[in-house]
Amino acid sequence: MNKKRVWAAIGVLAAGGALSLLVGAALARDPYTREELAEQEKALLASVDHGRDLWHGSNPSISTNGLACGNCHPDAAASNPHTFPKYQADVGKVIALRDMINWCITTPQAGKPLDADGDDMIAMEAYAFYLYRGKQIMPGLATEQTSPVVVKSGVGYPKKGSGVGYDK
Amino acid sequence: MIDLKNASRRDFLSISGRAGLATLVASAVGINVGMVEVLTAGTSKKITPFRFAILTDAHLFSIDDHKFDIFLAQAVEQVNAMSPAPDFVVYGGDIAQNGRDDQLVKGRKILSKLKMPIHFIPGEHDWYLDMGAAWKGHFGSPTWSMNHKGVHMIGMNSILVRDFWTAAGMSAKQRMDTMEMLESPIAGPWGVREEQLEWLKKDVKALGSETPVVVFTHSPLWDYYPRWNFQTEDAPEVRSILSKFERVMSFHGHVHQTVYNKIGNMSSVGTLSTSWPWPYPDVQLAYPEMRMTRSDPAMIQDGEGPQHIDLEADFQGTMHYDPFGNMLQPSIKDGFKI
Ligand SMILES: [Fe+2]
Ligand SMILES: [Fe+2]
């Protein structure tokens, strides 16, 4: 490409950009503002926080024997959310994380399973995934016990008002 | 027991140096695991060989016919059926889940079926509802020692924390709830604290360095994973008081998993619980071959069980995990030297 052609190409690109900007004003929205992003993160962390409470027994219907997920999975350890979906031998098929959560509700906790699409289930998943953030997604890793992020203090995620710990 | 592959010259020296007459005998166990038995010969103080058992972490709930009641009862049956029979049993803490008297009473009743004497130390789940009042009423002092067939046995309360509840205005129940959560960000580190350290100094003062010593605490006497209180804050002081002995064995509950470590003259062994297994924290173990494999959540008792220890005349110990499931590595299935 010679110099002239390059300039011509840039000219076309610039014109196209201006065009899409004009169209965009009608059809698409502006990028999220910092405030909007902060709101979204707040909503996510509220779900994570609700999930942590659920993992520690805040919903009595998911356990009839007093056990909570946190008893066996401190800091969500060994829940391995990044390995789902995968084959679960006891069920005999490939299942999603929410199925495994319900399996642990009905088996070790002898509780009532959660609605797979309900806010509680999403919060349960949000907590597990948040504590495994940054871990490589590896569906099907069945023989290894993996660890969540190392939590030095606090609960393992930014939690307003607690005053203790914030592990990003 | 050390891992041949990872054994440094320093490890070797620290073991042989301490024991004086130690010899190392290699024995291949498993495929990738090299194990070494440390044989101490010629210690002036011979003991009469015997066996004892450890039961721990039953975590009994205030629910009738709970599965953990049954698991503990099964472990009691298993210990009663051992041949030769253990001389005594040590209970390593966490009888109760929520520190309630009815839970401690239930545990005492199930454990009363044991044919041999039993000695108790407390866990955090037994203690923080009433600061050990009910526990002490049932099981006596948490700090004790006894001499058995030439071995000095010590029990201590390692779950003492600094007061986090008074300033926060917490109720007894809130204090207990806080301590129940393994990864609680609120309660600080555990320890045996000043009074027991003083007691320990006096307790071992008159003993010669050749005396074999076995010590029981709920939490490990080494810095394993502070976040889950897999540690005892003043363990260095404990180890320093016990450093004059040729060899010390430490057994601890709380971690609900197989784990081994050796620091100076002290070998340290984690015991299985009878309630549920815990995952391994994300730390590098000095003896990784001691890890159990992943427990199968579909096998409701996988990763649980009692254990027994055979002590030989020269204070060699063989630790046997007696699990209900099958998650042990081949290298520890038939017992391992400690
Ligand atoms: Fe425990
Ligand atoms: Fe414990």
Mean pLDDT of A146-157: 87
Contact residues, chain B, for A52 at CB < 8 Å: none
B307 burial level (CB within 10 Å; 0-12, 13-18, 19+): buried
Residue matched to tokens 């049954």: B70
Both tokens of B338, joined, read 């400690």
User: How close is the Cα of B219 to the center of ligand 1, in Å?
Assistant: 9
Mean pLDDT of A11-29: 55
Q: Tell the CATH superfamily of the A39-168 domain.
A: Cytochrome c-like domain (1.10.760.10)
What's the pLDDT at A145?
A: 77
Both tokens of B156, joined, read 């201590």
Instruction: Tell me how many residue pairs between chain A and chain B have CB atoms under 8 A apart.
Output: 67
Mean pLDDT of A72-77: 96
Q: What is the ipTM of this complex?
A: 0.84
Domain boundaries, chain B: 38-321
Contact residues, chain A, for B297 at CB < 8 Å: 90, 103-104, 107-108
Nearest-angstrom CA–CA distance, B226 and B207: 32
What's the pLDDT at B44?
A: 52
Mind listing the pLDDT tens digit for each residue in A89-120?
A: 888 999 999 999 999 999 999 999 999 999 99
Mean pLDDT of A62-82: 96
Per-residue pLDDT of chain B in tens (338 residues, 90 and over written 9): 333 333 332 233 232 222 222 223 322 233 233 333 333 333 456 899 999 999 999 999 999 999 999 999 999 999 999 999 999 999 999 999 999 999 999 999 999 999 999 999 999 999 999 999 999 999 999 999 999 999 999 999 999 999 999 999 999 999 999 999 999 888 889 999 999 999 999 999 999 999 999 999 999 999 999 999 999 999 999 999 999 999 999 999 999 999 999 999 999 999 999 999 999 999 999 999 999 998 888 888 999 999 999 999 999 999 999 999 989 998 899 999 99
Q: Which of B181, B294, B298 sits opposite A70 (nearest CB)?
A: B181
Strand order in the sheet with B266-270: B144-148, B151-155, B213-217, B248-252, B266-270, B259-263
- Which residues are CB-contacts of B323 (< 8 A; sequence separation ≥ 6)? B272, B302, B303, B304, B305
What's the pLDDT at B297?
A: 83
Question: Does the beta carbon of A108 lie under 8 angstroms from any beta carbon of chain B?
Answer: yes
Contact residues, chain A, for B97 at CB < 8 Å: 66
CA of B276 vs chain A CAs: smallest distance (Å)? 7
What's the pLDDT at A150?
A: 87
Contact (CB, 8 A) for B259 and B244: no
Contact (CB, 8 A) for A85 and A139: yes
* Whether B297 and A108 lie within 8 Å, measured CB to CB: yes
* Whether A151 and B183 lie within 8 Å, measured CB to CB: yes
Q: Which of B97, B183, B280 sits opposite A66 (nearest CB)?
A: B97
CA of B193 vs chain A CAs: smallest distance (Å)? 23
Evaluate if residue A168 carries a pLDDT over 80: no
User: How close is the Cα of A86 to the center of ligand 1, in Å?
Assistant: 31
Compare all CA atoms of chain A with the CA of B279 and give the residue at the minimum distance. A78
Nearest to B68 by CA among B275, B271, B297, B298: B275
- Between B13 and A68, the higher pLDDT residue: A68
Architecture of domain B38-321: 4-Layer Sandwich (3.60)
* Whether A74 and B298 lie within 8 Å, measured CB to CB: no
Contact (CB, 8 A) for A41 and A114: no
* Whether A72 and B185 lie within 8 Å, measured CB to CB: no
* Whether A155 and B185 lie within 8 Å, measured CB to CB: yes
What kind and span of H or E run contains A34?
helix A34-55
Residue matched to tokens 């504590």: A131
Helices (H), A56-166: 69-72, 97-106, 119-131
* Whether B294 and A152 lie within 8 Å, measured CB to CB: no
Nearest-angstrom CA–CA distance, A26 and B323: 68
Q: Which of B181, B279, B300 sits opposite A145 (nearest CB)?
A: B279
Q: Which of A74, A144, A165 sits opposite B228 (nearest CB)?
A: A74
Question: Does the beta carbon of A96 lie under 8 angstroms from any beta carbon of chain B?
Answer: no
Compare all CA atoms of chain B with the CA of A56 and give the residue at the minimum distance. B181
Q: Which residues of B touch A (CB under 8 A)?
A: 59, 61-63, 66-67, 97, 181-183, 185-186, 227-228, 276-282, 293-294, 297-298, 300
Contact (CB, 8 A) for A70 and A155: no
Helix A119-131 vs helix A34-55: angle between axes, to the nearest 10 degrees?
100
Question: Does the beta carbon of A147 lie under 8 angstroms from any beta carbon of chain B?
Answer: yes
Contact (CB, 8 A) for B67 and A66: no
